[in-house]
Structure formats: structure tokens, C-alpha cells
Amino acid sequence: MPHRTLSPLAFLRLLLPATLALACLVRAPGARAEAAPVWWSAFNDATLNLLLAEAAPPAAAAPPLQALLALQLQADATAAYVLARVASVRLMNGRLLVDTLQRQLELLRAGGGPDGDAARSAQQALESAQARLPQFEALRTASIDLLAQRTGGTRSVAMLSRQLAPALGDARLPVPAFDVPRELPGIVLRRRPDVAQAEAQLAQAGRDTAAGQLRLARYLQALSAPIAPAEESIASAVGSQPEDVLEAARQDIALRLAQLDAAVQAAKQQEAALLALQPQYLALRERFLRGEVPEAQALGGLARMLVEEDRLAASGGQLAIAWIAFQASIGGAGDASANALLGAKHEAE
């Protein structure tokens, strides 16, 4: 494919709005999506909604085993879509970085010779940036392939790529709008298919014996105790008793909640790093436009911004994946109200 070279002035004028947009993509925890019946609608992505509406069966009203399979399909498809979108954003950003570094290298070689320290550094940065482009392309292709499998398998990768072209050309990161709770009510366990199965087994066992009453008491206690974030290994259920399943489920949710919180903090730190760099870039850009600094120096500042944008895209993608895993751990309860979690029935008015 022939290389397309843009003037450095065009870079400096056109890329700044994109830089400012990407810097604000990690939504604050206080942001909320509009009420919707499905958990993945927090992404506010019409393409994702359409894909899952066509392919993912509803999990809420299904028997526990079917609900578990449906929830996993939803999570896998959403994660594949997010990874494809993130890879596309990083690929677009990477191509701009390669163009910027190529132009900077040309200027450095013209001004200081091919053996200058600055030229050698620019050459190394260019080679590193060029090596990353195939990685982003491969990740996008693999993600689209997985998405095709998870959404029915009737679409080829090429067909799905064409259908997703508008979404994959969007420079915004697919980050959901959500709150990070300090802790979760234990009643959220009832949304998990494995807990629903344990609850059914407990109901069948009855409560006429002392052992049955003890299991019921432990079950109710697990539902009433809040679940806080915890960086611990997930405990495997060691038996068929409901309390064992509940303990494993509680630890799973606690771990996913801790991982989500860590992903949010990492994304915030990367966003702060990019925002802190922007004033320096803006000042350098203005000096370049006034003719006070050489073109190569201005392009170096732009390259640093693009590197930080790529890091933000990576951390934003990790945040989205952590949120999907968290949603899977709570049975896709992100859309549920407190009354729905408690199983309350509303009488028709």
C-alpha cells in the first residue's frame, strides 16, 4: 500500500481535536447510562445492541444451565466487540504515529545527518511503531472472528468486517457508563445461574431437618451480607451444598469488583498523564505556528501525545473488559433495580 504523507502543519492542526477527545473518553464513575433492559446497553453502542439482540438469547428467564450459557455468550460477544473496537482505535492512532515519526526522521536527517543522536532515536521509535501495526491488525481480525462465532457463526469475517466498518472507524473508545460500588448487596447473588441452581436444590431438600434448617440459615446469611472488593483467589465449590456455591460466588464477585476498581484507577491515572502533557503540547504547537521552534521538535511533541493516547486506549480497553467480567460475575444484574434484585412484584396500576 503506498504511503500517504501529510504535512506536519496539517498534523498539528487536525490531530489536536482528536487528542482532546480521546483524553476525555474514560467516563467518571458518576456517569450513568439511561435505564435499559440489558446490561451491555451501558456502552451506549447501537451496533453492539443490534448484534446481541440478533444473536444472544435472554438469560434472565431461562433455566440455570441455559442462563449460564446465555450469559457467557453475551459476555464473550461483548468482549470480542470491545477488543475489535479498541484494536481499531489503536491501529488508527498507530498509523498517525508512524506518519509523524517518518516526517520527523526526514527532517532530522536533512538537518543533522543520518548519524545524529536525535535521528537514531527517531528511527528506533519509528521501527517500534511500525512493528505494532500488524499486532493491532491481527487483534482486530481475531476479535472479529470470535465475534462472528459468538453471534451465530453465519457471517464470515469479511462480511462482519464490512458490517462493522462504521463502528470500527469510530475513534471513540468503547467504555461503558457505570458507577463503581464500594460494595454490593448480597442479594445480587440471586442473579447468578449457579446460585439459582443451588437455591432450587435447597428448596427441594426442604427444611424439615436440622441440616436443612442450617443450610437455609447459611443461605439467608449469605444473601444478607454485603460483598466488598477483595484481591483473593476464587475458591472452587467443593461440594453440592448451597453454602459452598454461595461462598465461591461471593469470592468471585469480590475479586471481579476489585479488578474493576483497579482498572478504573489505572485508566484514571493514564487519563491524568495525557491531560498533564497537553499544555506542553499546546504551547509547543503555538511556538511552532509562530515559527519559534523547528518542525522536527513540534512533531516530536505530537509523537509523545500519540504514544500517551495509545496507552489510554489500552487502559480503556482493559477497563471495559474488567467491567464485562464483573457483569458476568453478578449474572448481568447491572440493569436491575433493588426491587428486581429482591424479587418484588409490582401490581398493575
Q: What pLDDT score was predicted for residue 143?
A: 93
111 Cα distance to chain centroid? 43
Residues in contact with 158: Cβ distance below 8 Å, sequence separation at least 6, in sequence order: none
**What are the structural domains of the chain?**
15-342 (1.20.1600)
Residues (pLDDT < 70) of the chain are: 1-37, 55-64, 112-115, 153, 203-208, 232-243, 334-349
Q: What pLDDT score was predicted for residue 68?
A: 81
Q: What pLDDT score was predicted for residue 63?
A: 67
Query: Model confidence over 259-302: pLDDT tens digits?
Result: 999 999 999 999 999 999 999 999 999 999 999 999 999 999 99
DSSP at 184: B
Nearest in space to 190 (alpha carbons), one of 181, 180, 203: 203
Distance from C-alpha of 37 to C-alpha of 78, rounded to nearest angstrom: 16
Backbone angles phi, psi at 146, to 5 degrees: -65, -40
Nearest in space to 38 (alpha carbons), one of 16, 7, 18, 59: 59
Nearest in space to 242 (alpha carbons), one of 263, 265, 270, 216: 216
Say if CB 86 and CB 312 are below 8 A apart: no
Query: Model confidence over 174-218: pLDDT tens digits?
Result: 999 888 888 888 888 888 888 888 777 776 666 667 777 777 777
Q: What pLDDT score was predicted for residue 14?
A: 39
**Residues facing residue 184 across a β-bridge:** 227
* Type and span of the H or E element at 106: helix 64-112
Distance from C-alpha of 9 to C-alpha of 341, rounded to nearest angstrom: 56
